Structure 1
Amino acid sequence: MVSRKQKRYETSVKNPFAIFLKDLIEEIKKFDAELNVEPKDCIARINRDIRFSKDKTPYNLHYTAFISGKGNKDKSIPGLYLRFGVEEIDIMAGCYGVSDTQLFNMRNAIKSDTQKFKDLYSNDKLVSKFGSIQGEEHKRIPKEFQETFEAEPLIAKKQFYVVAMRETELLTSNHLVKELMEYWHTAKPLNDFLTEAIKK
């Protein structure tokens, strides 16, 4: 039997989010015919992983989705990551959970065309929408990338992603999908560069 709380959650959060996500995915497909995911493939579980956390609160107070070729199953694939919270909206693009092989390939791509990479992340529109490239960094750089590091220090990063934060009022506006598509288009050149790199 469905509890009152669960019914409220499904009516007020889960179902509206899935409907919104379907609309956004359909809009993205107009520009990316290879995208073949459904909302259920992209939405992350609301349950928190509390195994190693002092905070035993069972549920997240935000709802998230990762729109890419493999959805939420593989966050290394560049795409658009959305996190709708009670205080702000986070919009992210790029690569996060990359493997060692993928990281090596991305660094090789940066080494092969450092100027192209620099032009992508320093693009005025990208900087205006997202700011700078984020991600943890290695303190030691492999020998084959040390020379490139002198010209492009970002090659030391272990992830390559960008983040924008918006006000929650956007969630109830009539132009939510339109505005998120602007972020998607802005991030697409960087996402394409990283996608090609990890495929090699």
Structure 2
Amino acid sequence: MLNKSSLLFLKDLAQHNNKEWFAENRGRYESAKSDLETLVDYLITNVGRFEDLGNIRPKDCIFRINRDIRFSKNKDPYKSFLSAAIGPGGRNSGRIDYYVHIQPHGESFLGGGMWEATPAQLNKFRQEVDYNAHQLKTIIENPVFRAFFPLVWGEKLKTAPKGYPKDHPEIDLLQRKQLFFMHKFTDEEVIAPGFPDRVIEGIQLLKPYTDFLNYVFFDEEEEQD
């Protein structure tokens, strides 16, 4: 569903990341953006068959290509990738969603999980792991899940978090500050006809994990009110 021309545009943008070049090639950008919108619309329709996404539209999910350079040493004005967050409320919901990243040279991926958790959310996560690690491990250690998501990204503490012993049986999970799972796609896979359905397959596998995190971070507290 994505065209080769969209990846070529991103490759060229990475080499000519300035406003003048972008202005001259805006038509190519608009074509790539339209490509992404078509993909995201397909994902919304089909993910909506097994998860309530509300009334979101592609524009609610797609991130701007402009970079925020105010506090960055890298002053490139544009991202060299296209991206979107699929989930209830779109990219600004604050909840755990499914992240789709399109970038040439085999850097495209589908990912999801705990990435920028607040201290309060980390405390909730660790309490849940301490109380009932089995539920989480059943999801993320499932052979089918791990076969699709072999890459685990994220920072860890070097020692046990405060309040937990160093010899805790779930010390690896307790040390996690981030627990984000990824499946990378080659450029050939991204432009293949079956790519959208492959992404949906991955989202279905991620859903129990995102449901777990959203419950622990948000819904469990609401139920107690």
Q: Same fold (TM over 0.5)?
A: yes
Letter in 1 for 2:140: Y
Deviations 1:48-83 (A, max 9, x none): 233344432211111011112232225x52221011
Residue 138 in 1 paired to residue 157 in 2? Answer: yes
Deviations 1:92-146 (A, max 9, x none): 0112122111221121221121122222211101110112542112335444333
Match of 1:92 among 98, 103, 111: 111
Does the residue aligned with 1:49 lie in a helix, a strand or coil?
Answer: coil
Match of 2:84 among 58, 61, 65: 65
Deviations 1:165-185 (A, max 9, x none): 111122322212211111011
Q: Distance in 1 between matches of 2:67 and 2:29?
A: 16
Residue 106 in 1 paired to residue 114 in 2? Answer: no
1:134·1:162 contact (CA, 8 Å) conserved in 2?
A: yes
Inter-CA distance 8–103: structure 2 relative to 1 (3 Å threshold):
same
Does the residue aligned with 1:163 lie in a helix, a strand or coil?
Answer: strand
Matches within 5 A, 1:42-57: 42-57=61-76
5+ residue gaps, structure 2 = 1-22, 221-225
Inter-CA distance 44–36: structure 2 relative to 1 (3 Å threshold):
same
Deviations 1:17-39 (A, max 9, x none): 11210111110000012444221
Inter-CA distance 168–35: structure 2 relative to 1 (3 Å threshold):
farther
- The corresponding residue for 2:25 is 5
1:121·1:133 contact (CA, 8 Å) conserved in 2?
A: no
2:155·2:178 contact (CA, 8 Å) conserved in 1?
A: yes
1:92·1:163 contact (CA, 8 Å) conserved in 2?
A: yes
Letter in 2 for 1:87: H
- The corresponding residue for 1:168 is 187
Match of 1:81 among 79, 99, 102: 99
2:87·2:98 contact (CA, 8 Å) conserved in 1?
A: yes
Kindly report the root-mean-square deviation, in angstroms, between the aligned alpha carbons of the 2 structures.
2.1
CA deviation after TM superposition for structure 1 residue 4, in Å: 5.0
Inter-CA distance 148–193: structure 2 relative to 1 (3 Å threshold):
farther
- The corresponding residue for 1:19 is 38
TM-score by length of 1: 0.87
Q: Distance in 2 between matches of 1:155 and 1:101?
A: 14
Does the residue aligned with 2:95 lie in a helix, a strand or coil?
Answer: coil
Inter-CA distance 149–35: structure 2 relative to 1 (3 Å threshold):
farther
CA deviation after TM superposition for structure 1 residue 148, in Å: 7.8
Q: Distance in 1 between matches of 2:192 and 2:61?
A: 22
2:96·2:210 contact (CA, 8 Å) conserved in 1?
A: yes
TM-score by length of 2: 0.78
Does the residue aligned with 1:146 lie in a helix, a strand or coil?
Answer: coil
Q: Distance in 2 between matches of 1:192 and 1:6?
A: 39
1:50·1:58 contact (CA, 8 Å) conserved in 2?
A: yes
Q: Give the number of equivalent residue pairs.
A: 196
Does the residue aligned with 2:147 lie in a helix, a strand or coil?
Answer: helix
